[in-house]
């Protein structure tokens, strides 16, 4: 085996030299990334010291990005002459950038030039000359000062439409005369020039008569000086008009804001951005800040503002007529403030308002007086979402015939008010605390979209209530606890227009498992999308999807489905998307998807597939060309079991060894197995009944069969053994009387030794309780029969024998049938274990047996003597002679008894 060693100093030095050589070579020959057939070339972050040479670039290059490099100087000779280049991005050079005169003269088609992010940018006076077709120039965060606007740097930029000077060091935005030729300029960005202190009349005079789509003055420090002379400053925006004037995030104090807006009186402004003003509004507890009032905005009364963004401030209270200076405003955004109070008349004067946004505030109640001043306006939409609204007065929105959208999401509404809104189309009530939709009937004539997600609805009757509107098309009930089916529930009217139904995140399993409301979809013939995910479904009720003839998408993901049948999907002939992800499908029969002829997308991710031969039909279906475009995410389908295939992709499984079984053969085998098992059960039943009814005859039959077998084997039967002295015949040679606890020793030790010594006379015929007693008969009858049918009784005397009353009764019974040896019935006692004399004397039958001097044999403790004792027992039982041992005699006096054999 090869050994692994650490590299020595010489080898490490060689590796370092090779790495340095690779770095040098890569630094010299790094190639830019080319996008075929598009003209785009990217050389971003390639440590270039100069622009790529002309021969390394395609002739049709239209966009060249060489940002994030180390280019320190640009000259006319360094930039390759590219006749079709329109976009050149030179931002973020890491070591600063110097642009020489006429550096871009060889790029006549350039439309967009990006020099932003070069904080050490140095422009020579004629650096940008020759760019007559340039439309967009980005020079943000270059550290530029006032001379860039006051000089002739932009002399040839006659086609310029957008100039971005964000984040520079401008102190005053005074434009030079070269801007007079920029008749196409539409966007001027002066944002984040933190040194910009003022903007006065004449600074933008070079743009006189233009309409700027955007003038961005946000995030500046203008007019911080409260002693600023506004009379001398004049109107900084005179003879200009604006699509959007952005003065957000400025440090205006209320007085300076009012003076600035007064100074631009009459300037046409379509949209005004006044958000994120740090000194406006007292919020919840800052009483030293002022709230906005009507007088602040009087300067804009004739500016024709249509869009006012007053969001993300700290306004707590809306004072009366605060927005009356904006009679033409159509969209008012007061979101993300701290509004808690709406004074009567707060919206007075907003005669053209169409959209009102009060979301993300601290409103708690809505009264009739809150929006009473907007009754005569063409108000179309109100956004009151993400507040703390708990109560809405029933007449709060009365008199709004044009209101089509009301957004009340994420509030604390407990009861839906009876809103008289005849034109309401979109009603959003998600994330509230509604337990019913009582009151919806007052607005259901025109309702098309209803959102009641994540409320506390539990009765499916609320879905029926929402369906009462004949125009409703979209119902969103996701995240409730729908589970109760109303007793009067009937299928919806077939005239409904519902196309989208979301009941996900509920507990529909509770309703459907009890067999209720399973016909709720039967009349939704126009429904196209149905979401039933996260409903704890374990099975799909039969006929659940009947009537869904137009359904295109069905989402059953994140349930507990273990199987999907073809019968349940049969009605979904038009289905295109089926989502079964994250269920408990162990195997899926492709035949279940047979009715879905138009299926285009099937999601099976997250199911615990059991990869056995039963899964092979699904694998064959997934690998077929017909379904290749249907199964989505094939790389996410993995085995969950067995353990040796866990996490293996389904597409990598091999079907070898999974031959298809013959259905006809399987049918025959099942029939044969059924017949055999039925016959076995029948025979067992007959045998049980026969034994129950005729067990006595059955027992005598077994005895006769046993006698016949012994006659064939030994030529004699137990009945042939005549009793000496009386001539009687017996079934057994001896009846072994023992306690149940001693049976293992009797069977493994005593009987085994006696059977091994059967000799020519054959084995002894011993009567045992466990084998020869008739089941079901009285125990005493069995004892009498055993004693009468045996030549002698052998009692195994132990501690358990003395404690067993039936054993003592058997001994007494045997003593009554005869006396000592030589009489009609012999009683032999085999003493096993150590028993004290006083304990034996306590039991009458044992005491009488010993005092009469009848045979009592002890089982030897020495294993060598046990064979001798077994031989003597065998002779005594057969011939009836007394046992004599080495010590002479088999009768023992009580005081000579001692513990012998294994203790018990």
Question: Checking DSSP bridges between strand 40-42 and strand 33-35, what pairing results, if any?
Answer: antiparallel
What angle separates helix 695-714 from helix 663-693, to the nearest 10 degrees? 100
Which pLDDT belongs to residue 531?
A: 98
**pLDDT score at 655:** 72
Q: What string of DSSP letters covers 788-828? A: HTEEEEEEEE-HHHHH-HHHHHHHHHHHHH--STTSSSEEE
pLDDT of 422 higher than 80: yes
pLDDT for the residue numbered 721: 44
Residue 240: per-residue pLDDT? 97
Structure tokens at 116: 């932003």
Domain ranges of the chain: 458-551, 563-653, 719-896
pLDDT at residue 3 in the model: 28
Helix H or strand E encompassing 246? strand 241-246
Give the E-state strand segments of 654-765 in sequence order.
732-737
Q: How confident is the model at residue 18 (pLDDT cuts 50, 70, 90)?
A: very low
The whole-angstrom separation of Cα 284 and Cα 388 is 15
User: Are 483 and 458 a contacting pair, CB within 8 Å?
Assistant: yes
Residue 443 pLDDT class (50, 70, 90 cuts)? confident
Position 306 pLDDT exceeds 60: yes
Q: What gap in Å lies between CA 204 and CA 201, rounded to an integer?
A: 7
CATH 3.80.10.10 for domain 563-653, yes or no, is yes
Which candidate, 864, 801, 810, places its Cα nearest to that of 831?
801
Nearest Cα residue to 626 out of 605, 596, 646, 655: 596
Question: What pLDDT is stored for residue 146 in this prediction?
Answer: 94
Cα dihedral 809→814→820→826 (10° resolution): -130
Across-strand partners of 42?
33, 65
CB within 8 A of 308, min separation 6: which ones?
A: 271, 272, 274, 323, 326, 329, 331, 332, 333
Helix (H/G/I), strand (E/B), else coil: 741 = helix
Cβ contact 795:830 at 8 Å: yes
Residue 704: predicted pLDDT = 62
What confidence tier does 697 reach under pLDDT thresholds 50, 70, 90?
low
Burial of 868 (0-12, 13-18, 19+ CB in 10 A): middle
Average pLDDT (697-707) is: 60
- Report the DSSP beta bridge partners of residue 372: none
- Pairwise CA distance, residues 194 & 711, whole Å: 126
The least confident of 18-27, 430-439, 625-634 is 18-27
Find the mean pLDDT for residues 164-177: 95
**pLDDT confidence bin for 701, thresholds 50/70/90:** low
Q: Residues 547, 572: contact at Cβ < 8 Å?
A: no
Query: Tokens at residue 584, please?
Result: 């408990």
Q: Is the pLDDT of residue 287 over 90?
A: no
CA distance 704 to 711: 11
Share of the chain above pLDDT 90, in %: 52
SS3 639: strand
Per the listing, tokens 């077929």 go with 624
pLDDT (average), residues 350-360: 97
pLDDT of residue 890: 36
3-class DSSP state of 21: helix
Tell me the average pLDDT across 724-742.
Answer: 75
pLDDT of 880: 62
Could you tell me whether strands 355-357 and 856-858 are parallel, antiparallel, or unpaired per DSSP bridges?
unpaired
Q: What is the mean pLDDT of residues 76-90?
A: 92
Interior CA angle at 644 toward 641 and 647, to 5°? 60
Give the residue-averaged pLDDT of 443-461. 91
Strand-pair category, 500-502 with 529-531: parallel
What is d(CA 204, CA 868) in angstroms, rounded to the nearest whole number?
137
**Mean pLDDT of all residues in 387-416:** 94
Residue with structure tokens 């009554």?
A: 816
Residue 7 predicted with pLDDT over 60: no
Higher pLDDT, 609 or 719: 609
Task: State mean pLDDT over 3-12.
Answer: 34
Q: Which residues contact 188 (CB under 8 A, 6 or more apart)?
A: 163, 165, 207, 212, 214, 215, 216
Sequence-distant (≥ 6) Cβ neighbours of residue 113 within 8 angstroms: 88, 90, 104, 131, 134, 136, 137, 138
State the pLDDT at residue 49.
93
Q: What is the largest CA-CA distance in the chain?
A: 159
Q: Band of the pLDDT at 573, cuts 50, 70, 90?
A: very high
Dist CA 799 CA 871 (whole Å): 25
Cis before 642? omega within 30: yes
Average pLDDT, the chain: 85
For the residues 134-149, what does the mean pLDDT come to? 96
For position 660, what pLDDT does the model report?
60
What number of other Cβ atoms are within 10 A of residue 640's Cβ?
Answer: 17
Closest by CA to 111, choosing from 90, 126, 133, is 133
Q: What is the dihedral of CA 451, 455, 461, 462, to 10 degrees?
A: -30
**By the 8 A CB rule, do 115 and 139 touch?**
yes
What is the spatial distance between Cα 770 and Cα 100, in angstroms, rounded to a whole number? 119
Segment 742-753 shows an average pLDDT of 88
815's tokens: 């003593």
pLDDT digits (tens, 9 = 90+) for 171-187: 999 999 999 999 999 99
Detail the DSSP E strand segments found in 448-544: 449-451, 474-476, 500-502, 529-531
- Candidates 3.30.420.10, 3.40.50.300, 3.90.1150.10, 3.40.50.10140; CATH matching 719-896: 3.40.50.10140
């Amino acid at each position: 085996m090869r050994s692994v060693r650490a590299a020595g100093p010489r080898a490490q030095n060689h590796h370092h030299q090779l790495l340095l050589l690779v770095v040098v070579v890569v630094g010299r020959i790094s190639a830019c990334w080319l996008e075929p057939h598009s003209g785009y070339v990217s050389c971003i972050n390639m440590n270039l010291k100069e622009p790529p040479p002309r021969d390394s670039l395609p002739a049709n290059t239209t966009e060249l990005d060489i940002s994030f490099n180390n280019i320190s100087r640009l000259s006319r000779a360094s930039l390759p002459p590219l006749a079709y280049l329109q976009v050149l991005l030179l931002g973020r050079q890491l070591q600063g950038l110097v642009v020489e005169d006429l550096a871009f003269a060889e790029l006549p088609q350039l439309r967009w030039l990006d020099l932003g992010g070069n904080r050490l940018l140095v422009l020579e006076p004629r650096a940008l000359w020759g760019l007559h077709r340039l439309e967009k120039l980005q020079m943000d965060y270059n550290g530029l000062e006032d001379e860039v606007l006051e000089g002739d740097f932009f002399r040839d930029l006659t086609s310029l439409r957008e100039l971005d000077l964000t984040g520079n060091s401008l102190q005053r935005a005074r434009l030079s005369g070269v801007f007079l030729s920029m008749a196409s300029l539409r966007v001027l960005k002066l944002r984040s020039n933190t040194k910009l202190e003022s903007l006065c009349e004449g600074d933008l005079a070079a743009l006189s008569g233009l309409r700027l789509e955007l003038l961005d003055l946000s995030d500046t420090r203008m007019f911080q000086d409260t002693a600023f002379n506004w009379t001398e400053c004049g109107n900084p925006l005179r003879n200009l008009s604006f699509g959007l004037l952005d003065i957000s995030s400025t440090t205006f104090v209320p007085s300076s804001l009012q003076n600035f807006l007064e100074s631009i009186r009459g300037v046409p402004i379509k949209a005004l951005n006044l958000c994120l003003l740090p000194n406006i509004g007292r919020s919840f507890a800052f009483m030293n800040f002022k709230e906005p009032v009507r007088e602040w905005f009087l300067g804009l009364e004739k500016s024709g503002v249509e869009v006012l963004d007053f969001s993300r401030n700290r306004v707590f209270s809306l004072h009366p007529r605060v927005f009356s200076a904006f009679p033409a405003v159509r969209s008012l955004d007061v979101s993300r403030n701290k509004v808690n109070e709406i004074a009567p008349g707060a919206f007075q004067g907003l005669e053209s308002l169409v959209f009102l946004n009060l979301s993300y505030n601290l409103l708690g109640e809505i009264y009739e007086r809150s929006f009473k001043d907007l009754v005569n306006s063409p108000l179309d939409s109100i956004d009151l979402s993400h507040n703390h609204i708990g109560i809405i007065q029933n007449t709060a929105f009365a008199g709004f015939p044009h209101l089509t959208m009301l957004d009340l999401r994420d509030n604390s509404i407990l009861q839906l008010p009876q809103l008289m809104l005849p034109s309401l189309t979109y009603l959003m009530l998600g994330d509230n605390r509604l337990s019913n939709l009582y009151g919806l009937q007052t607005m259901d004539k025109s309702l098309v979209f209803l959102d009641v997600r994540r409320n506390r609805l539990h009765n499916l009757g609320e879905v029926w209530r929402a369906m009462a509107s004949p125009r409703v098309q979209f119902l969103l009930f996701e995240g409730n606890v729908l589970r109760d089916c109303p007793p009067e529930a009937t299928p919806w009217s077939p005239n409904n227009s519902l196309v989208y139904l979301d009941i996900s995140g509920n507990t529909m399993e509770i309703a459907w498992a009890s067999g209720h409301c399973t016909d709720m979809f039967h009349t939704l013939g126009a429904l196209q999308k149905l979401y039933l995910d996260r409903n704890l479904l374990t099975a799909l009720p039969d006929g659940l999807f009947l009537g869904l003839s137009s359904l295109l998408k069905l989402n059953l993901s994140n349930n507990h489905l273990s199987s999907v049948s073809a019968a349940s999907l049969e009605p979904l002939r038009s289905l295109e998307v089926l989502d079964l992800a994250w269920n408990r499908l162990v195997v899926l029969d492709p035949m279940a998807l047979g009715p879905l002829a138009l299926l285009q997308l099937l999601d099976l991710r997250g199911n615990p597939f059991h990869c056995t031969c039963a899964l092979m039909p699904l694998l064959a279906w997934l690998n077929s060309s017909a379904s290749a475009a249907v199964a989505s995410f094939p790389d996410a389908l993995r085995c969950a079991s067995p353990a040796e295939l866990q996490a293996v992709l389904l597409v990598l499984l091999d079907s070898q060894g999974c031959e298809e079984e013959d259905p006809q053969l399987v049918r025959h085998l099942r029939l044969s197995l059924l017949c055999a098992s039925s016959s076995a059960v029948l025979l067992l039943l007959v045998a049980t009944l026969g034994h129950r009814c005729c067990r006595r005859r059955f027992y005598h039959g077994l005895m006769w069969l046993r006698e016949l077998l012994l006659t064939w084997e030994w030529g004699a039967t137990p009945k042939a053994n005549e009793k000496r002295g009386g001539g009687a015949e017996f079934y057994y040679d001896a009846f072994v009387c023992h306690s149940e606890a001693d049976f293992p020793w009797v069977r493994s030790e005593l009987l085994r030794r006696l059977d091994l010594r059967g000799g020519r006379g054959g084995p002894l015929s011993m009567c045992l309780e466990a084998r020869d007693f008739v089941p079901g008969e009285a125990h005493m009858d069995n004892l009498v029969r055993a004693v009468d049918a045996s030549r002698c009784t052998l009692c195994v005397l132990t501690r358990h024998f003395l404690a067993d009353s039936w054993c003592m009764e058997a001994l007494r019974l045997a003593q009554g049938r005869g006396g000592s040896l030589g009489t009609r019935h012999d009683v032999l006692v085999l003493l096993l274990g150590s028993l004290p004399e006083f304990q034996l004397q306590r039991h009458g039958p044992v005491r009488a047996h010993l005092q009469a001097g009848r045979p009592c044999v002890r089982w030897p403790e020495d294993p060598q003597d046990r064979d001798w004792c077994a031989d003597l027992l065998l002779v005594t039982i057969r011939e009836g002679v007394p046992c004599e041992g080495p010590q002479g005699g088999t009768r023992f006096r009580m005081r000579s008894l001692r513990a012998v054999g294994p203790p018990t």
